[in-house]
Amino acid sequence: MIPNPDEIKKLSPVELIVQAQQLETLGQTDNAIELYQQWIKHAESPLKYVAFFNLGVLHFSKQEHGLAIEMYQKVLALNPEFIQARLNLATLFEQSGRPEDAAEQWQLALNSKAIHEPNNQQFQVTALNNLQRMQKPYGQYSLSMGNPESQTSDSKRIIHISTDDNTPTGGIKVIYKHSELLRQIGYDAYIMHFKEGFRCDWFNNSASVIYANNLFQTDTVIVPEVLPQVGIQLHTMGIKYCMFVQNGYYVLPSVPLEYLHVCYQNAAVILSISDDTTNLLRSIFPEFSDKIFRIKYSVDINKFCLGEKLNKVTYMPRKNAQHSANIVPWLKKLFPEWTFVPLHNMSEEQVAEELQSSKIFLAFSDFEGCPVPPIEAALSGNVILGYHGWGGREYWAEPNFREVVFGDIRDFVRKFYEVSSFANHPSFQEILKPGIEQLKVNYGLNAEKELLGQCMEFINDRLKSNEGGTSL
């Protein structure tokens, strides 16, 4: 029998739970639900979320999923750190045909403070396993095995995964070029896209392309840092993989840290594009320092080279657009004798042509692993003025490069006075030549090839070890 409202509101949370459990034991689940409802309505307690949680459990036992979801949502409105309620809600969302909502709740569970408490370790594992199983929201890129009959017994392919993005992006160009060079030095190398028939064509390339349903367990896959979920999928498929980090500042924001740790832990090797990225990775994952390998890209010195110079300034408006939108109009007003050309929606050839004839390149780099455009512009005989993006510090040296503190648009304008004067000096190009020659050495084809060969040996050694299995 349910007590009257005056008696119910005097119940402590413990007394409430005891009486509700007694009703359940007697098979009076509806009365237990009514008891919780009356207590919530009449009692004043900071622990009302406990009553809502138990109501959710009772509604779930009666297959009343809609009501159970409502109760768990009320729990989390009162106490967002109640992990069990969030996991129960995620399970109900999945059973109700709402996988995206379920994945969102598992992600929120992993992002919560309470998940790190020792007694919640199993909850953490549960959330990670469910995200991995569902492959959402991080698993929109789906992989599958190819036909075993089409695989030769000695197949040892190197496959770089790329997103299906055909807009000018330095990172994707690096992936393509690495794959081409690996073929040149004797490896069976491919680019893998997800959409059948897709390939990048905004720059000239000869890379061999395969698609996401054509993987074999003998493959070694190179995964970009923006797709750690793919690394998790490959591990579950029994395929060896390496992470390729071109921008260390994309690593932590990609997925929750616990999920990220699983990905990098299972990687045979972690490839890094710059000194800055290497140091960042060693700070984030000191336990994986022994498998980090520094690699390089090269810039085509035949394409990005000196040309007939004009009073032209080039820049990329997509880089920190708010900054360029403040600085460029200001400079146009102060320096009407200069032409300002945005490098936007251009092919690689068009960009090279503009850089050959410009004298100054404005760098609006954000957090970047090792920004490519400033090197391309410097090789083309430009003075680079702006932000090094942290990763660019390894090559940012005067007189070819002039640094502006990130966000200091007034300093940007002040230094343009100096740079524009220098760029019109008769000895301008001669002064820049030593720096250009050094860039050719550091970011030339020979340096890239040499490091790629060393990288493959390093990966091979790792694959021979206990972590990696078979070698290439």
Is there a domain that residue 462 lies in? no
Write down which residue in 234, 262, 294 finishes a domain.
Answer: 294
Tell me: pLDDT of 471 over 70: no
Per-residue pLDDT tens digits for 328-368: 999 999 999 999 999 988 888 999 999 999 999 999 998 89
Mean pLDDT, rounded, for 137-143: 54
The CATH number assigned to the domain holding 70 equals 1.25.40.10
| pLDDT for res 140 | 54
Confidence band, pLDDT 50/70/90 cuts, at residue 121: low
pTM: 0.68
pLDDT of residue 139: 42
What mean pLDDT comes out for the span 69-87?
Answer: 91
Check residue 152 and give its pLDDT. 61
Instruction: Verify that 128 and 11 share a domain, yes or no.
Output: yes
Where residue 269 sits, what CATH number does that domain have? 3.40.50.2000
Which of 96-110, 208-222, 260-274, 306-320 comes out lowest in average pLDDT? 96-110
pLDDT over 70 at 246, yes or no: yes
Q: What is the pLDDT of residue 43?
A: 82
- Three-class HEC string of the chain: CCCCHHHHHCCCHHHHHHHHHHHHHCCCHHHHHHHHHHHHHHCCCCCHHHHHHHHHHHHHHCCCHHHHHHHHHHHHHHCCCCHHHHHHHHHHHHHCCCHHHHHHHHHHHHHCCHHHCHHHHHHHHHHHHHHHHHCCCCCCCCCCECCHHHCCCCCCEEEEECCCCCCCCHHHHHHHHHHHHHHHCCCEEEEEECCCCCCCCCCCCCCCEEECCCECCCCEEEEECCCHHHHHHHHHHCCEEEEEECCHHHHHHHCCHHHHHHHHHHCCCEEECCHHHHHHHHHHCHHHHHHEEECCCCCCCCCCCCCCCCCEEEECCCCCHHHHHHHHHHHHHHCCCCEEEECCCCCHHHHHHHHHHCCEEEEECCCECCCCHHHHHHHCCCEEEEECCEHHHHCCCCCCEEECCCCCHHHHHHHHHHHHHHHCCCCHHHHHHHHHHHHHHHCCHHHHHHHHHHHHHHHHHHHHCCCCCCCC
Mean pLDDT for the chain overall? 88
pLDDT reading at 296 higher than 70: yes
Residues 439, 405, single domain; the answer is yes
Looking at the predicted structure, is the pLDDT value of residue 42 above 60? yes
**444, 384 Cβ separation under 8 angstroms:** no
Answer whether residue 464 is part of any domain. Answer: no
- Residues 63, 162, single domain; the answer is no
* 169-227 pLDDT, tens digit each: 888 999 999 999 999 999 999 999 988 899 999 888 999 999 887 889 899 999 999 88
Q: 41 and 101: one domain?
A: yes
For residue 277, is it within any domain? yes
Per the model's pLDDT, the better-predicted residue between 118 and 77 turns out to be: 77
Closest CA to 361 of 402, 392, 333: 402
Same domain, 333 and 388: yes
pLDDT for residue 314 is more than 50: yes
How many structural domains comprise the chain? 3
Assess whether 16 and 130 both reside in one domain. yes
Looking at the chain, the whole-number percentage of residues with pLDDT higher than 90 is 56
Please report the pLDDT score of residue 10 as a whole number.
Answer: 79
pLDDT at 468 > cutoff 50: no
- The reply to whether 362 and 411 lie within a common domain is yes
Q: CA 421, CA 320: separation in Å to the nearest integer? A: 26
Q: Does the residue 359 lie in any domain? A: yes
**pLDDT of 98 strictly over 50:** yes
Q: Are residues 255 and 210 located together in one domain of the fold?
A: yes
- With a pLDDT cut of 70, the percent of the chain lying above it is 92
Residue type, 45: S
**pLDDT value, residue 137:** 40
Range of the domain at 58: 5-134
pLDDT tens column, 447-460: 999 999 999 999 99
Per-residue pLDDT, averaged over 73-89, amounts to 91
pLDDT at 384: 98
pLDDT tens string 264-279: 999 999 999 999 999 9
Tell me, yes or no, whether 456 lies in a domain. Answer: no
Instruction: Find, among 383, 387, 334, the residue nearest to 363 by Cα.
Output: 387
257 and 361 together in one domain? no
Q: How confident is the model at residue 134 (pLDDT cuts 50, 70, 90)?
A: low
| pLDDT above 90 (res 280) | yes
Q: Which is higher by pLDDT, 339 or 257?
A: 339
Compute φ and ψ for 223, nearest 5 degrees. -105, 130
47, part of any domain = yes
From 251, 266, 294, give the residue that closes a domain: 294
Co-location of 21 and 103 in the same domain: yes
Domain match, 191 and 90 both = no
On whether residue 306 sits in a domain, the answer given is: no
* Predicted local distance difference test score (pLDDT) of residue 129: 66
Task: Give the max Cα distance, the chain.
Answer: 99
Does a structural domain hold residue 49? yes
Residues 268 and 291: beta-carbon distance below 8 Å: yes
- In terms of domains, do 283 and 337 share one? no
Mean pLDDT of 437-446: 94
Instruction: Check whether 253 has a pLDDT greater than 80.
Output: no
Confidence band (pLDDT; 50, 70, 90) for 141? low
